[in-house]
Amino acid sequence: MTKREKIIAAVFLVLVLALFAGAYTLRQRGQQNTGSGQTSQSDGSSGITEDSGNAASQENTNPQAGSQDPITETAFKLNTVVTISIYDSRDTSLLEGCMELCDHYEQMFSRTLETSELYQLNHGELADADGVSHLSAELAELIGRGLEYGQLSGGRFDIAIGPVSSLWDFTSDNPSVPEDSLIQAALPLVDYQDVTLDGQDLTFQKEGMQLDLGAIAKGYIADRLKDYLLENGVESAIINLGGNVLCVGSRPDGTPFRVGLQRPFADRNETIATIEVSDLSVVSSGIYERYFEQDGRLYHHILDPATGYPCENNLVAVTILSEESTDGDGLSTTCFALGLEEGMKLIESMEDVEAMFITEDNALHYSSGFPRGD
């Protein structure tokens, strides 16, 4: 999908959400007038179903509004569509605070934004005479988590892939496969073990190394948004960062949220499964998210650190259910890179983490504790 198409899709999504919001609010008021029970409506565009993410973005001033009618704000941030829905508060400043936090972390973690801390790290602007870069506590924490996943995956997940990932531009209007010579020249710089992190001090062991935190940053940001909401008394909300969904608690009546899992390569409102979730993160990684075709071959954005090219296996998508969205982000990419057999083995060895794998034949493969959806 080109950059122009992404922008058009984002604008269309906001318009659709607003349309559903108006219909939903009218339905709620009608139900209250007639005393009828609450019905469900799917909003596959955000990956959330049953009224959980499609209410009005402005504060609801109707004093008779139902307790489960959320306040919601949607914006294009972090190069994706961000939607925050709060169910147990009317304070719209909390929505604004979440969006401001997104901007704050983008200024830290963006690989391409020249004013970001990560960009400055990658371009040697933070290094002292000895080559040591002193980082903010948050960037150091995120890099540390990324290095942990590098070790857990045996290098199949590698945040040091920056020299290679910078060669691929999946958002360009005319994306193309990089010259193989450039990829081969960058590969020796891709090794998380050549990154030394001591507290908040980081050293690259090879000149020209760069970090790319794109495979884990959104999960980390979602976790921080949840912390912010909890600190401000919110106990029922949904954080949706372009499909990275983190549920804060459950619905106000105690019932779980319903999360729709998108069918790969289908329209955004078509789901392959729907699961019930309370106070958990749902994160998917798949080849359908960002890709282009060249000479009859599909090239997707999940790169193999060993080859510099997109991972090749029979997987289409991996969905992770976990307590922290950082883990969901890291594990969804890790398990995709490992493949079905090794990825499933890793999930089964971990506590409080479940996974669903989708293979090229559209078959669903579940870990032992993954909830079977509709």
pLDDT tens digits for 48-68?
333 333 222 223 323 333 456
Residue 31 confidence (pLDDT): 34
Q: Does a structural domain hold residue 353?
A: yes
User: Which sign, positive or negative, has the C-alpha torsion 76, 10, 278, 145?
Assistant: negative
Q: Does a structural domain hold residue 302?
A: yes
25 with 79, same domain: the answer is yes
**Domain around 336:** 3-90+216-366
Spans in the chain with pLDDT lower than 70: 1-68, 268, 373-374
237 with 261, same domain: the answer is yes
What distance in Å separates the CA atoms of residue 44 and residue 272, rounded to the nearest whole number? 10
Give how many domains the chain has, as a whole number: 2
Q: Does a structural domain hold residue 374?
A: no
348 with 249, same domain: the answer is yes
Per-residue pLDDT tens digits for 335-368: 999 999 999 999 999 999 999 999 999 999 999 9
- CB of 87 closer than 8 Å to CB of 68: yes
Q: Does a structural domain hold residue 95?
A: no
Residue 13 confidence (pLDDT): 44
Residue 290 confidence (pLDDT): 83
What distance in Å separates the CA atoms of residue 291 and residue 312, rounded to the nearest whole number? 14
Kindly state the tokens that stand for 37.
Answer: 């029970």
Strands 195-198 and 271-277: unpaired
Residue 289 confidence (pLDDT): 76
159 with 256, same domain: the answer is no
Q: Does a structural domain hold residue 373?
A: no
Residue 68 confidence (pLDDT): 65
165 with 40, same domain: the answer is no
Residue 14 confidence (pLDDT): 41
327 with 222, same domain: the answer is yes
What distance in Å separates the CA atoms of residue 153 and residue 308, rounded to the nearest whole number? 17
75 with 138, same domain: the answer is no
252 with 296, same domain: the answer is yes
Residue 43 confidence (pLDDT): 29
284 with 347, same domain: the answer is yes
161 to each of 199, 241, 304, how far by Cα in Å? 22, 23, 9
- CB of 44 closer than 8 Å to CB of 52: no
308 with 220, same domain: the answer is yes
CA-nearest of 349, 253, 333, 220 to 285 is: 333
199 with 222, same domain: the answer is no
